[in-house]
Amino acid sequence: MRYLSCCLLGAGALALAGCKKDPIVEIKEVEVPARRSWTEVRNLRGLDRTILSMGTDGRQLFLQQPYNFTKYWGQAPQNLVVHAARLPSDVRVRLDLAPAFFAYPAYDSLLVVSTTAAPLTPAGYVHLRRLDATAVRFATRYMIPFKTTAISAANQVLIAYDNNDPAQPITLLLATINPATGLVQRAQVVRIPVDRNAGMPYVRHIAALEDYFVADLGDGGLYRIGADGQFRQVWGSSPLTDAFYTYGGTAYAHAEWGRLLTSADKGLTWREYTGAPAIFDQSRFYFVGDSLVGSQFDQLYTLHWQGLNYRVRPLKADGLERASVTGMAVLRDSVYVATTTGLFARPLAQFFDKK
């Protein structure tokens, strides 16, 4: 009986074993996020992600944000310093940032100069009303993304201002800066007479081209302003320029409605061409090495000129959707794009990959 019992027990165990269910394997589909061509630098928070302008000295990036000035030299958390530099908090006030210094309007009529080495410490000042008793306030109401200041290769700052002169001229302040100290070496007023009965002259856009400036005065025309403050009208009314740059010894001005202006004599005379592609409209241009790169809202492309012939090649821009580009610079082995929604990076070795 023992033997039978053992056999029955064994049989029962086998029967129980035979009743076990196979394990249920549940298969879940997990969506893996697609790798983006551009990745956001995570060091910035809050309003510091709203970058109004960007510059570089080749060793670090300089970022202008509402109120703040940031130095950035790498993606590790310790490689970024945000300075509460008391910059303008108005997002319409976008500053040109030179490698060694920058200038910004404080209050109505005080221009402050700081070095990028010590952005919290004002180094130079220009009291506008001491130069021009008719001065009212600095002009800061520009269409985005035009800048309030322009800095030339000759270390000069140009900024427009309003006046109460009965003749109603266009007025600008031209200041020469010592780049090592930020001290103002010279300041002068540029006073351009305009015909107020021939439309609406106003300062629409100012920019630096090498050692001189260009000023789009709307119905007042396009002006060239030299390092000595001398000016001349070089184009008629309503140029409607969106961007200026020099490439291969030629100055280019991209204008709206499919127009392009070029100058081969440092902005003294210009020629107009029509039929430019729509991608040029409202584009901004930057140099990545020797290559000219355009940005139209959140789209990127390279532009190569050979005489009047051009070649456009779209670049990968996924990751920049719905962002407005406000700056572009190379730092070591990466290309950085500043936008109104953050700072983005892409390896330089992959930057020129076709879209």
| Confidence tier at 5 by pLDDT (50, 70, 90) | very low
**Domain map of the chain by residue range?**
38-76+294-354, 92-245
What is the per-residue pLDDT for 205?
A: 93
What is the CATH number that goes with domain 92-245? Answer: 2.130.10.10
What is the per-residue pLDDT for 14?
A: 37
Instruction: Tell me how far apart the alpha carbons of residues 235 and 151 are, in angstroms, rounded to a whole number.
Output: 22
95 vs 83 pLDDT, higher one:
95
Q: Is the pLDDT of residue 144 over 90?
A: no
What is the per-residue pLDDT for 77?
A: 67
Most confident of 33-37, 43-47, 85-89: 43-47
Instruction: Tell me how far apart the alpha carbons of residues 300 and 323 are, in angstroms, rounded to a whole number.
Output: 12
Average pLDDT score over residue span 49-71: 96
197-247 pLDDT, tens per residue? 888 999 999 999 999 999 999 999 999 999 999 999 999 988 899 999 999
What is the per-residue pLDDT for 26?
A: 66
Mean pLDDT of the chain: 90
Average pLDDT score over residue span 116-137: 97
Q: Is the pLDDT of residue 16 over 60?
A: no
| Confidence tier at 12 by pLDDT (50, 70, 90) | very low
Q: Is the pLDDT of residue 342 over 90?
A: yes
353: tokens are 């990959």
Length of the chain: 355
| Confidence tier at 141 by pLDDT (50, 70, 90) | confident
How would you classify the pairing of strands 291-296 and 299-306? antiparallel
Percent of the chain residues topping a pLDDT of 70: 90
Amino acid in position 118: A
Amino acid in position 211: D
80 vs 206 pLDDT, higher one:
206
Q: Is the pLDDT of residue 50 over 50?
A: yes
| Confidence tier at 355 by pLDDT (50, 70, 90) | confident
What is 36-91 written as a DSSP string?
Answer: PSSEE-TT--GGGG---EEEE-SSSEEEE-SS-EEEE--SSGGGEEEE-------T
